[in-house]
Structure 1
Amino acid sequence: MRLSGSLLQQVGKQAYRPKRLKRVLNYAVFGFAATCCAYSGLLLFNLASGVFQYQSKRRPEIETQKRELEAAMQEKTAIERQAGLPAPLPMASLLRWLGDFVLSRLRPLGRRSPRPSRAASPPRPARPCRAALMMMYSGSGYAGMQRQPDRPTVEGALLDCLLAGGHINAGQFAQPRQQLGFVTASRTDSGVSALAQLVTLHHDLADPGALVRDLNSRLPDSFRVLDAVRVTKGFNSRYRVLNRTYAYYCPTFALCPDPLPSAYAYRIEPDRLRHLRYCLSRFPGTRNYFNFTCGRLLDDPSCARYIVNSWADEPFLYNGLEFVEIRIVGQSFMRHQIRKMIGLCIAVVRGQYEPSAFDAAFSAKRRLNVPRAPGLGLLLCDLNYAIYNREYAAKLGYPTLDWARFHRQRQ
């Protein structure tokens, strides 16, 4: 029992020793922290005492310097008075004088100066706003939409009439895009007509009806301005359009490879019309149209264009000649793109190109010679501004850009 009891005591001492060491360390740390705090407080007290003693010793000297400075100022003032100079104002008097002066200059509350009569003031000139000209024209006789030197164009004819009517000045006529913000919704090629074309420019648009009548009196009969409406300040006719719809009126005899005794007697076969519709079904979607334009590099990313839909309607007769109307709806088009799309379809239907020519043309691995259809049968028939009409025109009170109301005039 004694042996076991002594063992238990030794074990207890061993187990108690770490706790005792930890407690001692805690006391030591606490004591060190308390000592540091005491020394810091003592140091701050000595510093404050020294500053107080220094100020106490310097106070008589500061008071003496202050009295000497006041005496010198009084002596200087007396000398200036003897010389006839005005005495300087004290700081308090100067501030009071400034306050009284400011208050005297202020307009009394409740009294307002009479405002000038608006009738007596001259009228302000109308501020230029963003105006849109809705128009249609026949492309025959014009070398395209964009103005060119020494060649008749749609843009040139419109600007000439605006200048002749005094609606723009010479500087704006010389630089319409910089001075007027002149933007067209779609740049039609040479010989291409339009039933729906939109031009935006800066104009006061004080009397839209008078502007339309004046322009139509100066333009030829094949060129008509349908309406002039006000649009939002940041409106851009080119980038606001959702999609463009083109129609191509193709004579059906152009789809027949065999020589014909008379083009007026030809009527397209159902199989050939079905083949044409199959070729048109290859265009919808986003594809690379590098081989359907000119002046672009092989790796130009802007050659990728999105076609919404393309189809061919039932053939119809006009003056004894059969035509088929081809419709192409796309987001945007490049130069000669639609005419080359129609030309490739005609070449494949006639048997001059294999159907695999579509894959080769879309691959854009090399430049291919894609035929181009004449521009005389191409027509820009609609511009879709559905998002603008819904989000801006309907909510902000602007006129809608819709050509359906001019259906009778466009017949």
Structure 2
Amino acid sequence: MDHAAEECAPPHEAHDKRRAAEEHKDTRAPKVARTEGEAPSGRLAKRKVAIFFGYCGSGYSGLQVNPGVRTIEGDIFDAFCRAGAVSVENAVNPNKVQLQRSARTDRGVHAAGNLLTLKLMLEPPELPEGLTLTEYVNTLLPPQVRIWGMRRVQNAFNARTSCDSRLYEYLLPTYVFLPPKPFSAMWKMLRRVNYGSEQCPLNKDRAPLFPWQDPLLENDAMLNHPFWRALEYENEFSEDVKAKRAWRMPEHDLQRVRAVFNEFTGSHNFHNYTVGKEFRDRSAYRVMKRLSVSDPTMIDSTEWISIKFHGQSFMLHQIRKMIGMLVLLSRTNVPHSFVAQTFGPARIHVPKAPGLGLLLVEPHFGGYNIKVRNNNERIDRMIAQRTAAKGQENAKPVPKDAESEKRVQVDYAEYQEQMAAFKQTFIYDQIHRTEEDTSEFAKWLNYLDVFVGPDFAYLNPHGTIPQEAILRVGEQRRAPGGQPKAVPSDDDDDEGDDQELEG
């Protein structure tokens, strides 16, 4: 009714119009409230569920749906559509079923446990008899992508914001902690920042003395390392790699790695460990809850260690750059306290370690699980109180749907055995085979050791950042000869679970 017209009409006409409207309202069919889960027009009800899954990222262009390229989410969403758990009208866009993820991983990065939420029809007509929806969807996915299970979650559950921390793991061979090869660009730079000169003394034939012939380097365990003394200086790259894989990390080297890594623990400004963030950007602050370095483990003929990061959230490239800094400091004589300098305003070049060794172990939902426990306990108390008061005057009955209002905690406890087997076969073995076939980590070390320029001049024994090593935002220096030097690229793909950058 037009209230302005009613106010302008004579009183008796306005009264007649209101009465006619009320009579018309009374003759309309009463609106029937739908119970939870009931869908209109005979359609199957959709439920909000958490999907627990793992994957090997090799061959994929990352996790998140990206039109035109193959992604893990794309394969999973397609499998649910083919299983009939997503209606035809919603199959055109994952956003129609409110798809969210807890942690994004990018190209080549793996996950033993990750989590998606979306709204699904849990008992579609296409579901084969005797199979659960989880089992059926797994038959529609490649073996390198597995659904561990699914659970109903509260409508307020948000896969990203309800996740209060993430656990990542990075695997790498221990030989990456060997000092640079003598006479390489990195070795010469280290000699300069330690002794004031890049050049070794010359022998009588005007040829540079080897480090083990130079009295100045006699007791220098870094520039005159026993590993390099035992090798021929003119070895080819492949021969060096073979020798590196046979090397075994001494206990004191392992303890140095742990001491350096421990400096990252706590809340810090990680602007140097990502791209596109200034020192003053508050979002560059991240909290590292727990960090650990395993004992070395032999895999075939190579020694490996596992490094774990348990943090609230991570920015683009952050883990790979943290590994990069860990390797730089651990293979030189820089004091481990230098890590604190990287959280300051000076912008420096922190190289990214290969994406090969990175995997998401699992996201954690501690805060949400506390809410679930509190909610379930409240329902249990209500049921117990009303059951005990049954038969008393004014006693309230127990709601028929009380038990259905309970929710299950979001965790991976019941999937650990499946995840461990999958992780070994599809992630660990894949990482080890790839390194064996491609020498990915050895090539990365070679990139570091041939890098020409002052960017790594902060690798000095004083634990300071000299002016020559400080970069301006967007700066791209040039190496001798006019060729652009390698600098961190803003468009490389990496891990990242922060939706500000998402992944």
Range class of TM-score, shorter chain: 0.5 to 0.7
2:215 corresponds to: none
Residue number among 264, 268, 291 corresponding to 1:283 in the alignment: 264
Say whether residues 1:375 and 2:338 are aligned partners. Answer: no
Within 1, Cα distance between the matches of 2:87 and 2:333?
53
- Greater relative contact order structure (CA < 8 Å, 6+ sep): 2
Deviation at 1:126, TM superposition (A): 3.7
Say whether residues 1:319 and 2:328 are aligned partners. Answer: no
Within 1, Cα distance between the matches of 2:333 and 2:79?
46
Within 2, Cα distance between the matches of 1:160 and 1:289?
37
Q: Is the Cα–Cα contact under 8 Å of residues 189 and 375 in structure 1 kept in the other structure?
A: no
1:132 corresponds to: 50
1:160-210 CA-partner distances (Å, limit 9, x unpaired): 222333333465444423x22111000112211111100001223237963
Return the letter of the residue paired with 2:415: F
Within 1, Cα distance between the matches of 2:341 and 2:55?
36
Residue number among 138, 142, 147 corresponding to 1:225 in the alignment: 147
- Percent of residue pairs identical: 31
Say whether residues 1:182 and 2:95 are aligned partners. Answer: no
Residue number among 75, 85, 88 corresponding to 1:167 in the alignment: 85
Q: Is the Cα–Cα contact under 8 Å of residues 140 and 191 in structure 1 kept in the other structure?
A: yes
Q: Which runs of 5+ in 1 are unaligned?
A: 1-97, 106-121
- For residues 251 and 279 of structure 1, do their structure 2 counterparts lie closer, same or farther at Cα, with a shift above 3 Å needed? same
Q: Is the Cα–Cα contact under 8 Å of residues 189 and 336 in structure 1 kept in the other structure?
A: no
- For residues 161 and 309 of structure 1, do their structure 2 counterparts lie closer, same or farther at Cα, with a shift above 3 Å needed? same
- For residues 295 and 154 of structure 1, do their structure 2 counterparts lie closer, same or farther at Cα, with a shift above 3 Å needed? farther
Say whether residues 1:309 and 2:231 are aligned partners. Answer: no
Q: Is the Cα–Cα contact under 8 Å of residues 269 and 279 in structure 2 kept in the other structure?
A: no
1:238-281 CA-partner distances (Å, limit 9, x unpaired): 11122111111111011112555523311111111111101111
1:204 corresponds to: 121
Superposition pairs for residues 387-406 of structure 1, below 5 Å?
387-392=367-372, 395=376, 396-406=405-415
Return the letter of the residue paired with 2:357: G
Return the letter of the residue paired with 1:274: Q
TM-score (structure 1 length as normaliser): 0.65
The DSSP-based 3-state class of the residue aligned with 2:325 is helix
My pick for the range that moved more, 140-149 or 159-168, is 159-168
Considering fraction of residues, name the structure with more helix.
1
Within 2, Cα distance between the matches of 1:353 and 1:167?
56
- For residues 214 and 281 of structure 1, do their structure 2 counterparts lie closer, same or farther at Cα, with a shift above 3 Å needed? same
Within 2, Cα distance between the matches of 1:381 and 1:322?
21
1:339-369 CA-partner distances (Å, limit 9, x unpaired): 1111110111122866465233211x24321
Within 2, Cα distance between the matches of 1:256 and 1:195?
30
Return the letter of the residue paired with 1:166: G
Say whether residues 1:243 and 2:165 are aligned partners. Answer: yes
The DSSP-based 3-state class of the residue aligned with 2:63 is coil
Within 2, Cα distance between the matches of 1:165 and 1:206?
10
Q: Is the Cα–Cα contact under 8 Å of residues 63 and 73 in structure 2 kept in the other structure?
A: yes
Residue number among 136, 150, 163 corresponding to 1:214 in the alignment: 136
CA-atom RMSD, angstroms? 2.8
My pick for the range that moved more, 370-379 or 384-393, is 384-393
Residue number among 267, 273, 287 corresponding to 1:292 in the alignment: 273
- For residues 157 and 349 of structure 1, do their structure 2 counterparts lie closer, same or farther at Cα, with a shift above 3 Å needed? same
Deviation at 1:128, TM superposition (A): 2.1
Within 2, Cα distance between the matches of 1:342 and 1:250?
9
Say whether residues 1:195 and 2:112 are aligned partners. Answer: yes
Residue number among 160, 176, 197 corresponding to 1:254 in the alignment: 176
Q: Is the Cα–Cα contact under 8 Å of residues 140 and 376 in structure 1 kept in the other structure?
A: no
The DSSP-based 3-state class of the residue aligned with 1:226 is strand
Within 1, Cα distance between the matches of 2:292 and 2:342?
20
Q: Is the Cα–Cα contact under 8 Å of residues 49 and 120 in structure 2 kept in the other structure?
A: yes
TM-score (structure 2 length as normaliser): 0.54
Within 2, Cα distance between the matches of 1:174 and 1:295?
33
- For residues 124 and 174 of structure 1, do their structure 2 counterparts lie closer, same or farther at Cα, with a shift above 3 Å needed? closer
1:17 corresponds to: none
Within 1, Cα distance between the matches of 2:68 and 2:351?
28
Within 2, Cα distance between the matches of 1:133 and 1:380?
16
Larger radius of gyration: 1
Q: Is the Cα–Cα contact under 8 Å of residues 260 and 337 in structure 2 kept in the other structure?
A: no
